[in-house]
Amino acid sequence: MTAHPAQPTLEVPARVIPVPASLSPEAQAYLARGPLRVPPNPALDDIEDWRMRIAAIDQLMLARLAQSVQARPEGFQVDEISVGGRTVYVVTPPGLAPGDTRVYLDPHGGAFIIGGGELCRDTGIRTAAKLGMRVWSPDYRMPPDHPYPAAVDDCLAVYQALLRERRPHELVVGGVSAGGNLAAALILRARDEGLPMPAAAILLTPALDLSHSGDTFHTNLGVDTVLTGSDRSEMLLYAGGHDLRAPYLSPLFGDFRAGFPPALLASGTRDMLLSSTVRMHRALRAAGVPAELHVLEAAPHGFFGGNTPEDRELDNEVRRFIDVHCPPP
Amino acid sequence: MTAHPAQPTLEVPARVIPVPASLSPEAQAYLARGPLRVPPNPALDDIEDWRMRIAAIDQLMLARLAQSVQARPEGFQVDEISVGGRTVYVVTPPGLAPGDTRVYLDPHGGAFIIGGGELCRDTGIRTAAKLGMRVWSPDYRMPPDHPYPAAVDDCLAVYQALLRERRPHELVVGGVSAGGNLAAALILRARDEGLPMPAAAILLTPALDLSHSGDTFHTNLGVDTVLTGSDRSEMLLYAGGHDLRAPYLSPLFGDFRAGFPPALLASGTRDMLLSSTVRMHRALRAAGVPAELHVLEAAPHGFFGGNTPEDRELDNEVRRFIDVHCPPP
């Protein structure tokens, strides 16, 4: 008998990495904050501890939201509708052309466990402000009480509701981080269930591989100041025992030859999810799907927090891509 | 008086990085070789030492070329022409359609100091084999005897010779590494001198920033197994005392609003030049130049050596891009 040879490895010494002077002052300041410090995750089966932790993070984020209320975009109409018993925040930006019937379906981010309720409403407003589009922001179910496939089921139900109100070519599906996962997953589910495809998909620093098999999970560990650990408890909590590589959990492993809408993908050179993003780009293109890639210099997961020239340049790329594939009337 | 605050930094601990199992076996084997070991560079002013070092590397590469002669593409016609006293290898692939008058101008790579002569001829053959196109491979002058701007002058003279034989929309200019630098530099020079632009530019893992200001010069140091050091003596030797950030030396800092052809850019997540590539992509797009980006998972500088499925997938992207912007007759 022979043992399998060990997977070859590369030893990388410790390094000190400066904040690049080529970035905008705002992006430099964002990176200069250093790594986000997060307490360790609870044990996977300590549901009560997860509930407390999620509630604590939600409180923290709501407090931040309240503080930044003056910086919030104004004049947005927010209607709450119910789809399958879940709230969907329907956000209409001020000055939207009356005939602009397009909708951006935007499952929020938050590692599959946070970002619901008031934060979900806020996500919808911010996306509508960035894109100048009507946004549907679904308050989907989350762990620990509702692991996979609850979130995908909820997002798919909202997509089906949209299909009753709109034609598919008026719809864009997109998301950031875990929201990018859910956007891609709901598209694969919709396709497999015979539903028509939306006009475009927008996958921003997307969490497309819950098995964390990409190289930048290693190379950008310690380099990404936003995703700072190698613990993937949130993914396991969300997966609820399902195969992490199943396509509705990790859309990177889907078969795109059976169809996928034109897609814009974006990441940053410091992003732990850079590998997932570029691998998805390659997988889509190998399947003949029109897909374009944008990578921001030195950007960690989530880019630079949304309020830098670099973030706005990316917003402009997304608007342009949507206008090409889902043109305004 | 107050001192300027130090540029903030990030401390990244030592890590062990596995070769990703998602790569093809060929690409995994390429990465498993580990870091390329190169002796330290000579002192910048020790011209004789540089000559010996360059000759030694050339010998090593020629020996490898002789060994791999059976793996070399066959049936290529190679004509040697002279432009301004320099040899240009004109390579015609077998089976080229008689009416296909397109030419790919391909300044070779090699850190601005190696890759001339027989190696330059070989570069032309390999590019013609990859792209199925006629290639002009100029044997441009190099340091230590001929620093900047000799190489750009020579490449520009070849472009001018091509313009006498062809219409601009039949021309593509591209290159790998230092060749990508020279491709972009000659385009900027040509534009500034009022010459017409080629149909497309192909910038592969391009050395566009000799000042090494990009973030991945730090984050991918030790991660890139091909560019393994932070010594930039070759760049200084080539620049010959000129400002490293001058656009003909570092095309990343050019003004692209004054014109640049549609460009395909490619790099890898482990490439030291990833930052230079994505920054160029952003700079071109900010100027309204059609530019598309491809990033290969876990690829170091120069991708995976040219003979892996990943390399061939990139070749296919380049062929497709050329066929769109410089269609065959």
User: How does pLDDT run across B36-64, given as a tens digit for each residue?
Assistant: 988 889 999 999 999 999 999 999 999 98
Domain ranges (residues) in chain B: 72-325
Mean pLDDT (chain A) is 95
Helix (H) or strand (E) holding A154: helix A150-165
Give yes or no for residue B2 having a pLDDT over 60.
no
Class of domain B72-325: alpha beta
**pLDDT given at position A69:** 64
Q: Are strands B77-83 and B86-92 parallel, antiparallel or unpaired?
A: antiparallel
pLDDT value at residue B169: 98
Task: Using pLDDT thresholds of 50, 70 and 90, give the confidence band for residue B65.
Answer: confident
Q: Determine the pLDDT at residue B315.
A: 98
Percent of chain B with pLDDT over 70: 97
d(CA B135, CA B90): 6
Q: Is B303 left (phi over 0), alpha (psi -120 to 50) or beta?
A: left
Instruction: Quote the pLDDT of residue A5.
Output: 54
Contact A222 B12 (CB under 8 A): yes
What was the pLDDT predicted at B74? 84
Q: Cβ contacts (< 8 Å) between B9 and chain A: which residues?
A: 16-19
Q: Where do the H-state alpha helices sit in A166-301?
A: 178-192, 216-219, 233-239, 274-286
Residues of B in contact with A13 (CB under 8 A): 14, 222
* pLDDT band for position A66 (cuts 50, 70, 90): confident
B9, exposed or middle or buried, with CB in 10 Å at 0-12, 13-18, 19+? Answer: middle
User: What is the rounded distance in angstroms from the CA atom of residue B20 to the CA atom of residue B236?
Assistant: 35
Beta bridge partners of B173: B105, B201
By Cβ distance, the residue of B14, B19, B295 closest to A8 is: B19
Say whether pLDDT at B268 is over 80: yes
Contact call for A269 and B274, based on CB within 8 A: yes
pLDDT number for residue B1 = 38
Do residue A269 and residue B278 have CB atoms under 8 angstroms apart? yes
Using an 8 Å CB-CB cutoff, list chain B residues near A309: none
Confidence of residue A64 (pLDDT cuts 50, 70, 90): confident
pLDDT, tens only, A33-56: 999 988 889 999 999 999 999 999
Indicate which of B7, B295, B318, B324 best probes the interface with A, i.e. most A CBs within 10 Å of its own CB: B295
The answer, yes or no, to whether residue A7 has pLDDT greater than 80, is: no
* Closest residue to A19, CB basis, from B7, B21, B31: B7
B265, B281 Cβ separation under 8 angstroms: yes
pLDDT surpasses 90 at A172: yes
For residues A41 and A237, what is the distance between their CA atoms, to the nearest angstrom?
11
The residue of chain A with its CA nearest to that of B309 is A286
Contact B297 A317 (CB under 8 A): no
Q: How far are the Cα atoms of A270, B136, B226, B267, B294 from residue B31, in angstroms, in the given order?
A: 21, 31, 9, 15, 19
- In which region does residue A131 sit, left (phi positive, over 0), alpha (psi from -120 to 50) or beta (all else)? alpha
pLDDT at B165 over 80: yes
Collect all residues of chain B within an 8 Å Cβ-Cβ radius of residue A34. Answer: 8, 10
From A317, which residue of chain B is nearest by alpha-carbon distance?
Answer: B285
**CA–CA separation, B225 vs B111, rounded Å?**
16
Hey, are the CB atoms on B34 and A275 less than 8 Å from each other?
no
- Neighbouring residues of A270: CB distance < 8 A, sequence distance ≥ 6: A220, A223, A224, A225, A298, A299, A300, B215, B219
pLDDT in tens, A237-263: 999 999 999 999 999 999 999 999 999
Task: Give yes or no for residue A70 having a pLDDT over 80.
Answer: no
CATH architecture of the domain formed by A73-325:
3-Layer(aba) Sandwich (3.40)
ipTM value > 0.85: yes
Which helix (H) or strand (E) segment is B52 a member of? helix B47-67
Q: Which residue of chain B is at minimal alpha-carbon distance from A25?
A: B7
Residue B21 and residue A68: Cα distance in Å, rounded? Answer: 44
Contacts of A279 in chain B (CB under 8 A): 22, 297
**Is there a contact between A9 and B15 if contact means CB atoms under 8 Å apart?**
no
Amino acid at A308: T
Q: Per mean pLDDT, which range of A19-23, B6-10, B254-258, B325-329 is the poorest?
A: B6-10
Q: Hey, are the CB atoms on B9 and A17 less than 8 Å from each other? A: yes
B26 SS3 class: helix
Note the pLDDT tens digit of each residue in B205-241.
999 999 999 999 999 999 999 999 888 899 999 999 9
- Residues from chain B that touch A208, judged by Cβ atoms under 8 A, are none
Q: Is the pLDDT of residue A231 over 90?
A: no
- Residue of A329, A314, A271, A312 whose CA lies nearest to A26: A312
Judged by CB atoms closer than 8 Å, whether chains meet at B10 and A215 is answered as no
Residues B110-164 pLDDT 10s: 999 999 999 999 999 999 999 999 999 999 999 999 999 999 999 999 999 999 9
Nearest to A9 among B16, B220, B275 (CB): B16
Angstrom distance (rounded) from CA B205 to CA B213: 16
Residue B278 is nearest to which of A11, A15, A295, comparing CB atoms? A295
**For residue A146, pLDDT beyond 80:** yes
For CA atoms B57, B63, B68, B69, give the dihedral sign.
positive
Query: At A50, which helix (H) or strand (E)?
Result: helix A47-67
pLDDT of residue A3: 44
Q: How close B312 comes to chain A (CA, Å)?
A: 12
- Chain A: nearest CA to B291, how far in angstroms? 10
Q: Do A222 and B293 touch (CB under 8 A)?
A: no
Cis omega (within 30 of 0) for bond into B149: yes
- What per-residue confidence (pLDDT) applies to A39? 84
CB contact under 8 A, A275 and B293: no
Helices B118-131, B47-67: axis angle to 10 degrees equals 50
Most confident of the following: A63-67, B31-35, B67-71, B183-187: B183-187
Q: How far is the alpha carbon of B247 from chain A, nearest alpha carbon, in Å?
A: 16
The Cα–Cα gap between A315 and A136 comes to 18
- B221 → chain A, closest CA residue: A12
Which one of A7, A20, A293 has the shortest CB-CB distance to B215? Answer: A20
pLDDT at B93 over 70: yes
For A213-239, what is the mean pLDDT? Answer: 94
Distance in angstroms (rounded) separating the CA atoms of residues B221 and B227: 8
Note the pLDDT of residue B6.
65
Say what the pLDDT of residue B96 is: 96
Instruction: Verify whether the Cβ–Cβ distance A293 to B296 is below 8 Å.
Output: no
Token pair belonging to B285? 């797009």
pLDDT at A102 over 50: yes
| Mean of pLDDT values over A101-128 | 96
